[in-house]
């Protein structure tokens, strides 16, 4: 987290950690804390003004489904952190995913996606897209050249990637995605947050986040966002106003507050996740660990090139299999059993029972998930306490 962002010509360059503090303050009227604009409607002085407000993309002072000042402050902050011209917030990460797909794809169009995906995104591509005549080709996002080989010139309108990906932290080459000509490229960068990687710097067209996770960071906001060139965001805005999955101002407020502390939270979470990953890798009851900090991780070198830190998520394989993994999760005393990620509390999930409960055994196998897989979202507790908890749970579950 030491890279500098590029400022305007002649301006001093600032670190992203600083931008997280300074960004998104246009609508605050001098208040240092973000201001909650709860209102749903604004009055206009004249009919001509109301016409202007009704038709201006991303207008913040007309009607809340079109835009809202608190939501706009969050969008402005994300755009700055991602090095984007503009951003549009949504009611959830899935609101953003569905908008991106249905905005840019029509019947007869073709979409390329990796199969290492968040379960909701995979379900949308597999179950909803066919109903709308959108054909989807799934590729291994970690295989060099796989996206390019699947693109059908003139027919592929969207390429959808996720990196690091659920739940095995697969890393996709952002330079390769950015070099694809033709389709719009979009990266779900939720696991990295805007602090650990900037897909747009690599030539990718759009970056998407579930801000419900690390960006808001305190389990108190359900929120999505997409950032990119103003022209693309205006297209998305036109669809989003009709889709109606607009972000709540309260959630945008919580996410803006979360952004202010994201750099320090992430630094701690990345460091603790690296400590836990190394300790688990050396543990006799663990068959394997996935975390980009580990030299054994297939995406280790790529992550080091394109990310500023390894991230707060890791997964590990309980060697004795599914029953032992379930016993291990249930024996945890400090770590809680819960889905989601990026918050202060360390959480354990059993992907086969939750996020990937609906995937076929074949799909799970190619994603590297088995019944023994445990995913950890590393929080802000002291690393020694987390390590002690994991060790006692592994002993309780496996005797090792
Ligand atoms: C959680 C998540 C989503 C969906 O976000 P919601 O805010 O839950 O709708 C999408 N992608 C990734 C990688 C996620 O972790």
Distance 161 CA to ligand 1 centre (A): 13
Catalytic residue among 118, 170, 251, 268: 118
Catalytic residue among 14, 25, 65, 257: 65
Residue minimizing CA distance to atom 6 of ligand 1:
93
**DSSP 3-state assignment of 379?**
coil
Query: Is 210 close to ligand 1, i.e. is its CB under 6 Å away?
Result: yes
CB 330 within 8 A of CB 337: yes
Q: Which of 94, 170, 226, 338 to mutate to test the pocket of ligand 1 (most atoms within 8 A of CB)?
A: 94
Residue minimizing CA distance to atom 2 of ligand 1:
210
Bridge partners (DSSP) listed for residue 86: 228
Q: What does the pLDDT read at residue 358?
A: 81
Task: Give the residue carrying structure tokens 């507790």.
Answer: 381
Listed in sequence order, the residues at least 6 apart from 356 whose beta carbon sits closer than 8 Å to its beta carbon are 119, 167, 363, 364, 367, 369
- List, in sequence order, every beta strand (DSSP E) within the chain: 86-90, 110-114, 135-139, 156-162, 184-188, 206-210, 224-228, 286-290, 313-318, 336-337, 347-349, 373-377
Q: What does the pLDDT read at residue 2?
A: 43
Q: Which of 97, 101, 190 to mutate to test the pocket of ligand 1 (most atoms within 8 A of CB)?
A: 190
| Residue 232 CA from chain centroid, whole number | 19
Query: Is 351 close to ligand 1, i.e. is its CB under 6 Å away?
Result: no
91 is written with which tokens? 């009611």
d(CA 162, CA 155): 22
In ligand 1, the atom with minimum distance to the C-alpha of 97 is: 10
Length of the chain: 400
If one counts every other C-beta atom within 10 angstroms of the C-beta of residue 212, the result is 25
Distance 102 CA to ligand 1 centre (A): 17
> Per-residue pLDDT tens for 248-276?
999 999 999 999 999 999 999 999 999 99
Q: What does the pLDDT read at residue 13?
A: 78
Distance 209 CA to ligand 1 centre (A): 7
Beta-strand pair 373-377/313-318 = antiparallel
CB 109 within 8 A of CB 100: no
Listed in sequence order, the residues at least 6 apart from 335 whose beta carbon sits closer than 8 Å to its beta carbon are 346, 347, 348, 376, 386, 389, 390, 393
Q: Rg (Cα) of the chain, in Å, rounded?
A: 21
Residue whose C-alpha is closest to residue 280's, from 314, 249, 257, 311: 314
Catalytic residue among 213, 265, 268, 290: 213
| Residue 116 CA from chain centroid, whole number | 13
CB 303 within 8 A of CB 171: yes
If one counts every other C-beta atom within 10 angstroms of the C-beta of residue 9, the result is 5
pLDDT-flagged residues of the chain (< 70): 1-10, 12
Give DSSP secondary structure letters for 128-165.
IGGGGT-EEEEE-TTSTTHHHHH--TTTEEEEEEESSB
Q: What does the pLDDT read at residue 363?
A: 84
d(CA 311, CA 290): 11
The 8 Å CB, 24+ separation contacts for 39-43 are: 39/64, 39/68, 40/64
Q: Determine whether 14 is an active site residue.
A: no
DSSP assigned state of 366: H
Q: Determine whether 25 is an active site residue.
A: no
Q: Determine whether 188 is an active site residue.
A: yes
CB 245 within 8 A of CB 95: yes
């Amino acid at each position: 987290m030491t890279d500098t962002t590029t400022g305007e010509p002649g301006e001093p360059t600032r670190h992203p950690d600083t931008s997280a503090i300074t960004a998104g303050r246009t609508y605050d009227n001098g208040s240092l804390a973000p201001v909650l604009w709860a209102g749903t409607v604004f009055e206009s002085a004249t009919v001509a003004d109301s016409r202007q407000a009704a038709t201006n993309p991303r207008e913040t002072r007309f009607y809340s489904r079109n835009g809202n000042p608190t939501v706009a402050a969050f969008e402005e902050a994300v755009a700055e952190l991602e090095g984007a011209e503009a951003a549009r917030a949504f009611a959830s990460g899935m609101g953003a995913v569905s908008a991106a797909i249905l905005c840019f794809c029509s019947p007869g169009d073709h979409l390329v996606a990796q199969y290492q995906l968040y379960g909701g995104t995979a379900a949308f591509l597999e179950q909803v897209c066919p109903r709308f005549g959108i054909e989807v080709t799934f590729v291994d996002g970690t295989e060099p050249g796989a996206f390019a080989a699947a693109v059908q010139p003139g027919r592929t309108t969207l390429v959808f990637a996720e990196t690091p990906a659920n739940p095995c932290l697969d890393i996709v080459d952002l330079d390769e995605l950015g070099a694809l000509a033709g389709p719009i490229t979009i990266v779900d960068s939720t696991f990295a947050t805007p602090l650990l990687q900037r897909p747009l710097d690599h030539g990718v067209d759009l970056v998407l986040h579930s801000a419900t996770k690390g960006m808001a960071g305190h389990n108190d906001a359900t929120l999505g966002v997409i950032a990119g060139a103003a022209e693309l965001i205006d297209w998305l805005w036109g669809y989003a106003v009709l889709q109606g999955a607009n972000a709540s101002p309260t959630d945008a407020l919580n996410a803006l507050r979360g952004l202010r502390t994201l750099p320090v939270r992430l630094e701690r979470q990345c460091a603790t996740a690296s400590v836990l990953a190394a300790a688990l890798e050396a543990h006799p009851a663990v068959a394997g660990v996935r975390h980009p900090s580990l030299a054994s991780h297939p995406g280790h070198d790529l992550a080091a090139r394109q990310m500023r830190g390894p991230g707060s998520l890791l997964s590990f394989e309980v060697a004795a299999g599914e029953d032992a993994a379930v016993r291990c999760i249930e024996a945890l005393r400090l770590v809680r059993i819960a889905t989601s990620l990026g918050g202060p509390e360390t959480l354990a999930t059993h992907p086969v029972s939750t996020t990937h409960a609906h995937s076929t055994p074949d799909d799970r196998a190619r994603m590297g998930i088995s019944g023994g897989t445990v995913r950890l979202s590393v929080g802000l507790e002291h690393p020694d306490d987390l390590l002690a908890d994991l060790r006692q749970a592994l002993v309780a579950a496996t005797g090792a």
